[in-house]
Amino acid sequence: MGGIAVDARGRSSIDGLWAGGEVSSTGAHGANRLASNSLLEAVVYAARIADDIAGRTIPSPARLPDALVTPRGGAPDAAAVKRLRATMAAHVGVIRESEGLADAVRHFAAVEREATSMALRNMAVAGLLVAASAWSRRESRGAHFRSDHRAEIPALAQRTMTTLTAAREIAESLSSLPRAAQPMIA
Ligand SMILES: Cc1cc2nc3c(=O)[nH]c(=O)nc-3n(C[C@H](O)[C@H](O)[C@H](O)COP(=O)(O)OP(=O)(O)OC[C@H]3O[C@@H](n4cnc5c(N)ncnc54)[C@H](O)[C@@H]3O)c2cc1C
């Protein structure tokens, strides 16, 4: 649960990239809505983003990060995508625990490092952010259930932010621990 941090106009920290709806994190619903997003929010932010885009000069593609303009590497290998999904379902599903999450983090980090397809890398990045965040949250809260940390910890009842750099650092810190499964990158 979470998404790309945006302001009240739906702007992300990358100039020319707006995020709205399920992919974004606005905090608009506070603690009232478990997964933070709703159809109403998607509609409201779609309108705000459209207004914001209409009122400003969009950066030319030359100024946008490469990855946003030209996805490289073609279609992802179907078997590799299947393994990403299987890892997500096995270790980052309804019931999570430290070892399984660590396996998932290592798997996603390895795919991110080694994949030649940009599309596959993007999938691995999304998985890595979710798994590393779930590994770090050593409590159970809402739909995040840790079988090794079953209780809610009141001090952790707050919105948190992370970055890809932080997720990669978690993967790095876990890389010296034993691996249950090799990533098998295609
Ligand atoms: C079970 C369930 C019940 C819900 N009940 C409610 C409710 O009662 N009330 C309420 O307000 N909200 C509810 N929600 C939340 C609401 O459905 C979502 O917040 C809303 O649908 C988000 O809309 P969205 O357009 O941002 O994302 P989505 O509806 O997820 O749309 C994203 C679209 O992008 C497409 N896509 C993904 N990747 C790519 C790609 N690489 N290239 C091209 N296209 C891509 C997907 O196929 C999809 O069509 C519910 C959600 C769920 C899962």
- Confirm if 135 and 97 have CB atoms less than 8 A apart: no
Answer whether residue 7 shows pLDDT above 90: yes
96 against 177, higher pLDDT: 96
Distance 13 CA to ligand 1 centre (A): 23
Distance 19 CA to ligand 1 centre (A): 13
Q: Is the CB of 77 under 6 A from ligand 1?
A: no
Dihedrals phi, psi of 156, to nearest 5 degrees: -95, 5
**From 13-22, 50-59, 91-100, 145-154, the region with the lowest mean pLDDT:** 50-59
Of 4, 6, 22, the residue with max ligand 1 atoms within 8 A of its CB, to mutate for a pocket test, comes to 22
Q: Is the CB of 37 under 6 A from ligand 1?
A: yes
**pLDDT-derived band at 67, boundaries 50, 70, 90:** low
pLDDT of residue 143: 86
Distance 38 CA to ligand 1 centre (A): 9
Helix axes 118-136, 78-91, angle to 10 degrees: 10
pLDDT of residue 26: 85
pLDDT of residue 182: 43
Distance 81 CA to ligand 1 centre (A): 20
How far is the CA of 28 from the CAs of 5, 7, 124, 132, in angstroms?
A: 12, 10, 28, 24
Q: Is the CB of 46 under 6 A from ligand 1?
A: no
Architecture of domain 78-174: Up-down Bundle (1.20)
How high is the mean pLDDT of the chain? 86
Q: Where in the chain is the domain with CATH 1.20.58.100?
A: 78-174
105-144, pLDDT tens digit by residue? 999 999 999 999 999 999 999 999 999 999 999 999 888 9
pLDDT of residue 135: 97
Average pLDDT over residues 60-80: 73
Of 26, 34, 36, 38, the residue with max ligand 1 atoms within 8 A of its CB, to mutate for a pocket test, comes to 38
38-65, pLDDT tens digit by residue? 888 899 999 999 999 998 766 666 666 6
Distance 45 CA to ligand 1 centre (A): 14
Copy the structure tokens of residue 172. Answer: 């790095």
